[in-house]
Amino acid sequence: MRVITLQQLKSILAGLPDNPRIVASGNFATPKTLLNLANEVVPEFRLHMLNAQPGIPDREGVTYESAFVGAGMRRHPRLNYIPSRLSLLPVLYRDHYRPDVVMLHTSPPRFDTVSLGTEVNILPAAIEAARARDGIVIAQSNVQMPYTYGDAQIYENEIDYLVEVDEPLEVKPPTQLTDTAQEIGSRIASYIEDNSTLQLGIGAVPDAVLAGLTERKGLRIWTEMFSDGVLDLFKAGILDDEILLTASFVFGSRELYDWLHLNRKVRMMRTERTNDPSQIARQAKMISINAALEIDLFDQANASHVRGEIYSGFGGSTDFIVGALHSRGGKSFMALPSWHKKANVSTIVPRLTSNVTSFQHSYVATENGIADCFGHSQNEQARNIIDNAAHPSVRDELRKHARDFGLI
């Protein structure tokens, strides 16, 4: 690893092949200094990020690639969406979307390593794929990035160039819990037993679920990501002190990042481990909680498309749904409000006309109740979804469709 200046890096980037593929830290760990320099020096490049946030390079000559579309790339005319389960993205890097450059956002060096800090995810696989084909790996070493353990630790000899920066990390604003989110969250929380293992995402419903677990004990965390709600559980002594918290990326407050720094209770792992359904299935009482945009009477969920256009992607939901269903005592929840206020339509529909992201969940959870799905016939599933999850104003209409489908 060679520590260089930004001026030195300019000459290195100027020597890249035509239209290189740049894989960069995604989610909320964007390596802004490196990307801004690439935007200045490299005429054309393919920018590959997961859940990219606003502020990334955007001009003619920059093409976007993503298997999980964030707000920075959503509805963009130069976006190439790559359908993939998150656990399979390392295979794509190895065989199909090989990176020429990997741009990392890391901690300062510690002994002979740096840490990927809050964002591990697919980056170790991207580093390996780049090095296997003579690509280069560049790190922006940020004094504000916490040093985390596990697969987050990257040896100096895996990095070609390091640039030192001092820039604030993105922090998560407080979540505003609506009455609907609180109702859904409390209903799901009532199904979670002591000594369960949790997978949660970002948003009001996961935060509401965690707020409803104050009376539990011995909870464990095996998740793609977590935020401040998990720190609250730790402070309250609700987590199993003997089991490491396992995650692939973190987004939250500065307090959360300070807690992560050099915390050996937290193990940050690469995606193909955290999202491996066989590993998920080994966790005790695995509880998977994911969100959908709409669900039909056949328990098929759309969590990726709006009006036929890609909104996000599979993400980790498909991996965790399968893993939770195979876990002894595991449960998979698909959560959504029963009514979309902005569009003024029911989110429980007769049959999906949009893309199917996942199917076969343990439960469908709305503010109206919890519909029991797995282990029931398709007729019983449909009745349960109508009676327990759908908005009361559309239940008669849904029953009519169910009769037309032969479900009632």
Distance separating alpha carbons of residues 361 and 211, to the nearest angstrom: 23
* CA–CA distance, 254 with 44 (Å, rounded to integer): 35
What is d(CA 116, CA 108) in angstroms, rounded to the nearest whole number? 10
Q: Is 224 a catalytic residue?
A: yes
How many Å is the Cα radius of gyration of the chain?
22
Three-class HEC string of 260-309: HCCCCCEEECEHHHHCCHHHHHCCCCEEEEEECCEEECCCEEECCEECCE
Pairing of strands 266-268, 149-150: parallel
Burial 302-332 (b: 16+ CB within 10 A, else e): bbbbeeeebbbbbbbbbbbbbbbbebeebbb
CA distance 211 to 208: 5
* Under 8 Å between Cβ of 297 and 255: no
- For tokens 């790559």, the residue is 82
| Closest residue by Cα to residue 260 from 97, 143, 147, 142 | 147
Phi first, then psi, for residue 155 (nearest 5°) are -70, 150
Catalytic residue (choose from 158, 183, 224, 272): 224
Q: Quote the distance between the C-alpha of residue 154 and its chain's center.
A: 22
- By annotation, the residues acting in catalysis are 224
